[in-house]
Amino acid sequence: MSTYRFGADLAVSASLPKFRLNAREAVCIGVLTSLTGDASAWGRPGLEGCRIWADWTNAQGGLKIGDQRRRVEIVAYDDQYDPARAVLGAKHLVLEKDAKIILMLGGDTVPAISDFLARSKMLATTLLPSDLSPDTPYLIAPCEVHPIYVVTGVDWLAENRPELKRVALCAQKDALGLPSLATYRAAFEAADIAIVEEILYPGAPHDADAMVEVLLDANPDILCWDTAYEPFVHALTEAAYRRGFSGQILSCTCDNYPALIEKTSRDFMEGFVFQFPDFDDPALNDPRVNFPRPSEFYSEFNRRFPGEWSAVSWEYCAILEMWRKAVERIQTVAPNAVLSAMKMGGVSRNVFGEARWWGRDLFGIDHALVGSWPVVRIQNGRARIVEIRSVLEWWDRHGDLLLRHMRACGQMWDQRLERRVTGIATSEDHAPRIRS
């Protein structure tokens, strides 16, 4: 039997009593995400993390509700990051599978299903708080707070490498890239780093070399990849290597960075800053961290799914552990009741420490659990946390900047709601300095 454990309460060992689980009483957990296509580098590892959590939870006896032990069952639906498929998937999980929570990546698929989720009073989670609005009362962001945590990477660079004063960046023209673009703009302005070039691209950057050439022609100290899918981050980074760039690279994610090191060089990737650590990072032993035994989870994930670790591998698992604790505290899996329990008191802990249910100023509703987030730097061929910084402290100093840039990019909750109602696209109407 495996000796890996997800915290003391999910410990698996030969000495544990054997619990009898009734398959007819299984609790369905829905995963509605992209398992194929460009976004699958986030969707698939998230599902794999869920499966580890489910296996360990069931080995420990499942959910304890009163005198019952209920097995958990993960049911996945591949939406291919397509709104029409997301609608089919949401209805399948809610109406046919009786899911009690639905885990999603979020982004462009959310507007298509938000009305159905609201009518169903279905508890759903997103990794993108920019999906939140008052008309999505059962949608929460309890783990990842994309994109507002990217301010911590810019802030860290401004303090630790003050000589870097010029940045060139590119962003995807979608629900992942545009809020991130607004946030990076605000963070660079707060740090007094001038944006000398921007490119907003639809779909994949088919000619990464040409794009990077335009960015480098502006003579930047920093190249920023905004929030790009894994294949795009790799293509752009390799193009920068081929062009001989020797400055700082900054990105929201850098999944499968060992492959990038192999395709470029260890020296080239040294100092690359992004926001997602490996979970064998010694910094995660900090008592503020609210993910039990992260190194053991990381080892188990890599044993079962070699080469699949990504920014999302641990996130659905962390959400499910919060959900489990709420379920067992209130002794029901009813979605609305569990949502109330998870938000009780307005404060909680995210993976990286104390956090607050927050977001009314930015999202129109306090459904994002926001606290601190790590700044990660590649050092000697490994991703290592250099600091865990408070997102809310940055907001207290510079929140007005973020609000202004979000509105300029058409990403405030009321603007997104207006687009849903009217069908008028305004996202790029207010985005100066952009080459399409």
Give me the pLDDT at residue 110, please: 93
3-state secondary structure at position 59: helix
Domain identity same for 270 and 285: no
**Is residue 269 assigned to a domain?**
yes
Mean per-residue pLDDT, 266-283: 97
- Whether 228 and 236 have beta carbons less than 8 Å apart is answered as yes
Q: Are strands 222-224 and 248-250 parallel, antiparallel or unpaired?
A: parallel
**Is residue 2 assigned to a domain?**
no
Domain identity same for 156 and 142: no
Residue 153 tokens read as 């990477």
| 241, 256, 270, 293, 350 from 262: Cα distances, Å | 12, 11, 13, 30, 34
Kindly tell me if the per-residue pLDDT of 192 is higher than 70: yes
**Is residue 1 assigned to a domain?**
no
CB atoms within 10 A of CB 217: 11
**Is residue 246 assigned to a domain?**
yes
Domain identity same for 322 and 393: no
Residue ranges of alpha helices (H) inside 60-191 are 83-91, 110-120, 151-160, 177-190
Binning pLDDT at 50, 70 and 90, where does residue 423 land? low
Kindly tell me if the per-residue pLDDT of 306 is higher than 70: yes
User: Exposure of 426 by Cβ count < 10 A (0-12 exposed, 13-18 middle, 19+ buried)?
Assistant: middle
3-state secondary structure at position 29: strand
**Is residue 3 assigned to a domain?**
no
Dump pLDDT digits (tens) for 117-137. Answer: 999 999 999 999 989 999 999
Kindly tell me if the per-residue pLDDT of 426 is higher than 70: no
CATH code of 431's domain: 3.40.50.2300
Kindly tell me if the per-residue pLDDT of 9 is higher than 50: no
Give me the pLDDT at residue 68, please: 87
Kindly tell me if the per-residue pLDDT of 10 is higher than 70: no
Which of the listed residues 353, 372, 391 is the one where a domain comes to its end? 372
**Is residue 298 assigned to a domain?**
yes
Mean per-residue pLDDT, 10-24: 42
**Is residue 19 assigned to a domain?**
yes
Give me the pLDDT at residue 7, please: 44
Q: Give the separation between CA 70 and CA 57, rounded to whole angstroms.
A: 10
Which of the listed residues 348, 372, 396 is the one where a domain comes to its end? 372
Give me the pLDDT at residue 424, please: 56
Residue 29 tokens read as 């957990």
Mean per-residue pLDDT, 66-82: 94
Kindly tell me if the per-residue pLDDT of 40 is higher than 70: yes
Which of the listed residues 357, 372, 387 is the one where a domain comes to its end? 372
Domain identity same for 154 and 34: no
Kindly tell me if the per-residue pLDDT of 399 is higher than 80: yes
Domain tally, the chain: 2
Mean per-residue pLDDT, 266-274: 98
Torsion 315-95-364-130 (CA) sign:
positive
Kindly give, in sequence order, each residue whose CB lies less than 8 Å from that of residue 121, ignoring residues fewer than 6 positions away.
138, 335, 336
Give me the domain span that covers residue 156. Answer: 148-278+373-435
Residue 46 tokens read as 């998230």
Mean per-residue pLDDT, 190-217: 94
Domain identity same for 202 and 327: no
